[in-house]
């Protein structure tokens, strides 16, 4: 596949790569990737991930994840959990182990990443990953919510807009749930009663932070910047924003200060305007 897209070029430097290898689109990797052909890859795929298909050009864009990428992804996501729990530079605190799962399942990239974290670090998700794949998104969020009430969670892995939605649901209705409906769920009942006391003492509606003590949360979504302060008010912790895509996997993430993103160069070849071209641009 590399010989095909590089059109026989064998660059020995970055400069040669720039001049010899053409720009490509997903079309240049078809039909091989669409058909998940592994014999044309430089390394065997341990997983295949796909996009949402919203572009309409393809039902899905399938992308292979090699063993090397699979391992690097684990390091980066564990680092993300450290950053998500720290409150100042250099601080390392216990990372979460029980997560509310509020994002897309495998073979979407978010689901693939969750499997790697479960495999490497024994993280527990509500609902469980295999079970989640058989549910609609709304069913998954609802099941995860009730499991979290019974079992407790100390971490959140999800999309920012979904977490705001869960927070609004709790704020508007969880405090008014009928006790009789929870008699079969004693752990959930006790958690809600304790949360009601906390919210009444605070003089406000119930919020997720009254139900759970979250150590950290890793989130994604184009609206993360818009919702991050609202999420902190609802959940009690600042969400760590991660930028990822199916094709490039983890591109960048916030670190201990929760401000701008830091690139992860070991996952992707990140190329910016060369210094010589920058000076030409300044002169013009």
pLDDT at 277: 76
Query: 48: closest CA among 246, 244, 220?
Result: 246
pLDDT at 101: 95
- Convert the pLDDT of each residue in 224-278 to its tens digit: 888 999 999 999 999 999 999 898 899 999 999 998 899 988 888 777 777 787 7
Query: 228: closest CA among 186, 218, 281?
Result: 218
Which pTM value belongs to this model? 0.84
pLDDT at 180: 59
CB of 174 closer than 8 Å to CB of 206: yes
Q: Which residues contact 215 (CB under 8 A, 6 or more apart)?
A: 84, 85, 93, 94, 95, 96, 154, 155, 237
Q: How far apart are CA 54 and CA 52, in angstroms?
A: 5
pLDDT at 185: 84
CB of 264 closer than 8 Å to CB of 251: yes
User: pLDDT tens, position by position, for the chain (284 residues)?
Assistant: 999 999 989 999 988 988 898 888 899 999 999 999 999 999 999 999 998 777 778 888 999 999 999 999 889 988 998 999 998 898 999 889 999 999 999 999 999 999 999 998 899 999 999 999 999 999 999 999 999 999 999 999 999 999 999 999 999 875 455 555 666 788 999 999 999 999 999 999 999 999 999 999 998 887 888 899 999 999 999 999 999 989 889 999 999 999 889 998 888 877 777 778 778 878 87
Classify domain 67-263 by CATH architecture: 3-Layer(aba) Sandwich (3.40)
Tokens of 92: 């390392």
Where exactly are the structural domains of the chain? 2-65, 67-263
pLDDT at 272: 72
pLDDT at 176: 57
């Amino acid at each position: 596949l590399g010989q095909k897209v590089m059109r026989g070029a064998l660059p020995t430097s970055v400069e040669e790569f720039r001049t010899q290898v053409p720009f490509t689109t997903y079309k240049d990797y078809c039909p091989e990737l669409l058909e998940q052909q592994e014999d044309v890859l430089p390394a065997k795929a341990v997983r295949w991930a796909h996009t949402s298909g919203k572009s309409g050009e393809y039902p899905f864009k399938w992308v292979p994840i090699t063993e090397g990428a699979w391992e690097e992804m684990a390091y980066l996501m564990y680092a993300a959990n450290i950053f998500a729990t720290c409150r100042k530079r250099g601080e390392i605190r216990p990372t979460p182990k029980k997560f509310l799962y509020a994002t897309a399942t495998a073979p979407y990239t978010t689901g693939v990443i969750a499997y790697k974290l479960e495999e490497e670090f024994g993280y527990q998700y509500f609902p469980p990953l295999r079970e989640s794949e058989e549910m609609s998104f709304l069913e998954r969020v609802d099941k995860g919510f009730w499991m979290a009430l019974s079992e407790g969670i100390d971490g959140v892995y999800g999309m920012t807009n979904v977490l705001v939605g869960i927070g609004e649901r709790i704020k508007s209705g969880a405090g008014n749930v009928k006790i009789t409906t929870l008699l079969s769920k004693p752990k959930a009942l006790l958690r809600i009663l304790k949360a009601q006391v906390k919210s009444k003492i605070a003089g406000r509606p119930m919020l997720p932070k009254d139900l759970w003590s979250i150590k950290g949360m890793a989130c994604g979504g184009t609206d993360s910047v818009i919702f991050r302060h609202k999420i902190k008010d609802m959940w009690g912790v600042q969400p760590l924003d991660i930028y990822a895509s199916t094709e490039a996997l983890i591109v960048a993430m916030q670190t201990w200060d929760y401000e701008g993103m830091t690139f992860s160069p070991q996952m992707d070849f990140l190329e910016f305007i060369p210094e010589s071209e920058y000076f030409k641009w300044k002169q013009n």
